[in-house]
Amino acid sequence: MNPRYPGAAIACLAVILSGCYMSKESKLIPRQVIFGNPVRAQPSLSPDGKKLAYLAPVDNVLNIWVKTLGADDDRPVTRDKDRGIQQYFWAQDSSRIFYLQDTAGNENWRLYTVQLSSLKVETLTPFDGVQVNVIEYNRYHPEELLLVMNKEDQKFHDVYHLDMKTGRMELIAKNPGDFMSWVPDHDLQVRGALRARPDGGTDLLIRDAATQQWRSLISWDLEDEGESGPVTFDKGGTALYLTDSRGTDTSCLLKMDIRTQLARSVAQDPSYDIGGILVNPATYEPEAVAFSRTRQEWVVLDAGLRDDFTRIRGISDGDFFIQSRDNADTRWIVAFNLDKGPGAFYLYDRRTKKAEFLFYTMPQLKRYTLAAMEPVSFLSRDGLMLHGYLTYPAAKQKKLLPLVVNVHGGPWVRDTWGYNPRCQWLANRGYACLQVNYRGSSGYGKKFLNAGNKEWGGKMHDDLIDAVNWAIRQGIADPKRVAIFGASYGGYAALAGATFTPDVFACAISAVGPSNLITFIKTIPPYWTSYLQTIHKRIGDPDTEAEFLRSRSPLFKVDNIKIPVFIAQGANDPRVKKEESEQIVEAMKRKGLYYEYLLFPDEGHGFVKPANRLKFYAAAERFLAKYLGGRFEE
């Protein structure tokens, strides 16, 4: 205490008496810092290399900002006042920016453009109830782009060509009803497509020109298709790069000659699937491949990039990826992801081999001590090796801690190393945060992925319980203070924890989680229809396996609940309808069971608006503090 500043001394004494001594190690990180809007995010270079765009708040709503490199002339070029902008990209002439936006989380994206000179915004797809996505836009056709829309039929996405000079939009590829996705070449010709098969597999179709008939190039069974798929045509359009796991456990990057169907291997790891591919936007050649092992590791394919990657690795201890590059390919924006710090972006000059720091996403985090994310692994009860991460409270011993099992969504994705706001929040509040890449998670080969087929609430859930038991045996977790927390599939897992294994957990938090697998599958978005057979194979078929799905649905096990349950839902969620939350809430209400429920009328599958996100985490924080005994920010 400094006697020259008695006010500061009184404030410090008040903090000590409150039990939250403000040492650097134990200082509470405000929820606003962790879950509020980033100060700046998602930077992108203009194609001419002269300007930088990024997302930043205007009146607490994310908008697009633009500045001239080397100048302090930052200005917002959009003025959204509601949900904020999350996806955008530059026009090739660097004079305007395109962005996608939905309404209240309904995922019916519209495409907009804003002129930088006049700030005039134009709606390019002014259609109600239609989902739009851009699938090809490149330097070779600067005034044209290809997009997909379910305009003709909500169940299927067709391909449209948009001439931006005239505004003319033309349907150029009609979905016959079973096409899952499209693969255009660099000349904006739709030359490839993925077709869903009745058995849950997929066929990769190809044609030599847009006027010719489709023919089958590759057929993947369900066991192979999860880690396989097209990447890009080469520039000449005679070969296709694709990932393929036929005849092997992990996916391999191949280059296949379309005419002869001869293929050569470009990159593969014996234990991990391909986790990312850097494709040159001018040559359409893969330049580097990432494998998400314990951490992300790059394998450089193009010798001309080896020196750049070596120098970039020396900039930061974090895992990196190339966020953006100009058309001359002399300037790159490099993004770094660290476990104990905010995301950082650098402007890297390939000519001088020097990097200039641009910004942190959340610079306020630099004032606080964050916790390390440590890799862990252990065997499941049936001998499957499971991998995950543990984030411990920074200033506490790693023994007998309250534990939160933080379950990832998907479920066919995986947790990776790096900054995770929920993990840091939990650790800062005094909890050990355990993330588990349970069977069915991607990245560890097709055997591991397919081990999750029809195991929702079965062996996938057993893996989470095995993780808890492992943490207890290691002396890390206090067995009486364990919670389960997740969103989407993770929300389902939290409800399964409360109903299938109520003796394991002290409480559960579920966000946008299915409670009844029958109604969940029967109410999927119309545009998921082509994926329905895959869903049936991986989860179950409500028409032929209703009793099985009932047995794996938390809604029908409500009588088993012994613990408090907190549920949150977006009213406009197109993937997990609000009825999934409300029907289990109503069942708990009828049984007189304790629950808390938050419904956000202006959200979808996740909570995008900062006010809603902060409200959810404030309620979750109080809930966890009440039942696990952690800290809480008033």
Question: Of 488, 510, 530, 553, which one is the catalytic site residue?
Answer: 488
* Residue 163 token pair: 């001439």
What is the side-by-side strand order in the sheet with 263-268?
A: 229-233, 239-244, 252-257, 263-268
Note if 324 is an active site residue.
no
List the beta bridge partners of residue 204: 194, 218
Cβ contact 575:410 at 8 Å: no
Q: Which amino acid is residue 229, in one-letter code?
A: G
Contact yes or no for 406/485 (Cβ under 8 A): yes
Q: Is 573 a catalytic residue?
A: yes
Query: What's the CA gap between 339 and 418, in Å, rounded?
Result: 4
| Strand, helix or coil for residue 288 | strand
Strand partners, 570: 600
Residue 304 neighbours by CB under 8 Å, 6+ apart: none
Cβ-proximal residues to 217 (8 Å cutoff; 6+ apart), any chain = 192, 204, 205, 206, 240, 256, 258, 261
- Active site includes 605? yes
Q: Considering all CA atoms of the chain, what is the largest pairwise distance in Å, rounded to the nearest integer?
A: 85
Q: Please, are residues 408 and 467 in contact by the beta-carbon 8 Å criterion?
A: no
Find the catalytic residue in 102, 228, 573, 581. Answer: 573
Which residue type does 408 have?
H
Distance (Å, whole) CA 525 – CA 577: 9
Give the burial string for 291-327 (b: 16+ CB within 10 Å, else e): bbbeebebebbeeebeebbeebeebbebbbbbbbbbb
Question: β-strand 401-407 against 319-325: which pairing, if any?
Answer: unpaired
What is each CA distance from 618 to 28, 332, 353, 462, 611, in whole angstroms?
13, 38, 45, 30, 10
Angle, in degrees to the nearest 10, between helices 459-473 and 489-500: 70
Sequence-distant (6+) residues with CB within 8 A of 571 are: 104, 578, 599, 600, 601, 602, 603
**Among all residues, which ones are annotated catalytic?**
488, 573, 605
